[in-house]
Amino acid sequence: MVMSGDPAMNVPTGLSRWTGFLLARAHQRAHALFQDALAPLELTPKSFGALSVIKDRGPLSQAALGGTLRVDRTTIVAVVDELERAGYIERGHNPADRRVHSLGVTAAGSDALRVAERAAGASQDDLLAGLHPGEREQLQALLARITQ
Amino acid sequence: MVMSGDPAMNVPTGLSRWTGFLLARAHQRAHALFQDALAPLELTPKSFGALSVIKDRGPLSQAALGGTLRVDRTTIVAVVDELERAGYIERGHNPADRRVHSLGVTAAGSDALRVAERAAGASQDDLLAGLHPGEREQLQALLARITQ
DNA sequence: TATTGTTATACTCTATAACTATA
DNA sequence: TATAGTTATAGAGTATAACAATA
């Protein structure tokens, strides 16, 4: 009962059999939608992810944040700078180890995250507009299972 | 009967609800596997895609190739250079319009594509190792439907 | 005037190397 | 010695601008 084929010619016919190409296209679209949805909040998909992790797991170090997001610690610096400049997070001190920055969300960051999550949700609805609720869950579950 | 949740903690918990983040992770993994599989053949995921399109739709112009792959025509130049240098394609002439290059696959390119497709298939099996055949088809079909 | 292919250039993203301050 | 954060730098990847040839 599963339909294969090339429903909308979205991907060059011969390439449509490669999951990698479909993933590339789907990701490209998701990223663009996400980016547009978050832009008014001074957030990028990456900084939104960082803010979300800091809110969930904070206070945590920049190294821990980078490890969670799988981003190099040198790349994390700019992301944290950006979030701090926007007033969404603070670089606190860790009395137990004065090398580390203890990242925590501010009240403004918490508010921004709530708004951003609504915007992200709307962009996700846009991305998944063609799928029924059950199909969205299926896709979500299948993707989770091929993610290393 | 659909299972949601976070089967393997592959994505930071709070982020696992965002399809975009799962797509980013899945694409990142697929790209790495694809790249490794194709490297011995002097092919990248992008040049493999180009070779595949030229084989399927050739002879065609660089502009047409770029349009199909959604890659800027200035970016296509290097991809075509690379494939030509490897001896996989030829830049032919179009008598009807002397501006365009008529791209066609060589015999060596055809052979390389066959080998590359086997390698790509193996890397795809790797990517989808955790999914049953029916689930692979489901994922494929669902991805095709959110691809613009 | 518009289009094809090309080059030069710039911009984004990200990692490596090297530094400091701590441990 | 090793680690956290930082900076400078370099390498991909890709787009914009400008050009020659051709339509």
What pLDDT score does A6 carry? Answer: 33
What pLDDT score does A10 carry? Answer: 63
pLDDT digits (tens, 9 = 90+) for B19-40: 999 999 999 999 999 999 999 9
* Region A127-148 average pLDDT: 96
pLDDT digits (tens, 9 = 90+) for B97-125: 999 999 999 999 999 999 999 999 999 99
Distance A71 CA to D7 C1' (A): 17
Residues A31, B20: C-beta atoms closer than 8 Å: yes
What pLDDT score does A14 carry? Answer: 85
Cβ-nearest to A27 among B23, B34, B123: B23
What pLDDT score does B11 carry? Answer: 73
Cβ-nearest to B13 among A11, A56, A145: A56
What pLDDT score does B10 carry? Answer: 64
In angstroms, rounded to a whole number, what is the distance separating the alpha carbons of residues A103 and B79?
43
Residues B49, A10: C-beta atoms closer than 8 Å: no
In angstroms, rounded to a whole number, what is the distance separating the alpha carbons of residues B45 and A42?
33
List of domains in chain B = 14-119 (1.10.10.10)
Q: Can you give the pTM of this predicted structure?
A: 0.92
pLDDT digits (tens, 9 = 90+) for A21-67: 999 999 999 999 999 999 999 999 999 999 999 999 989 999 999 99
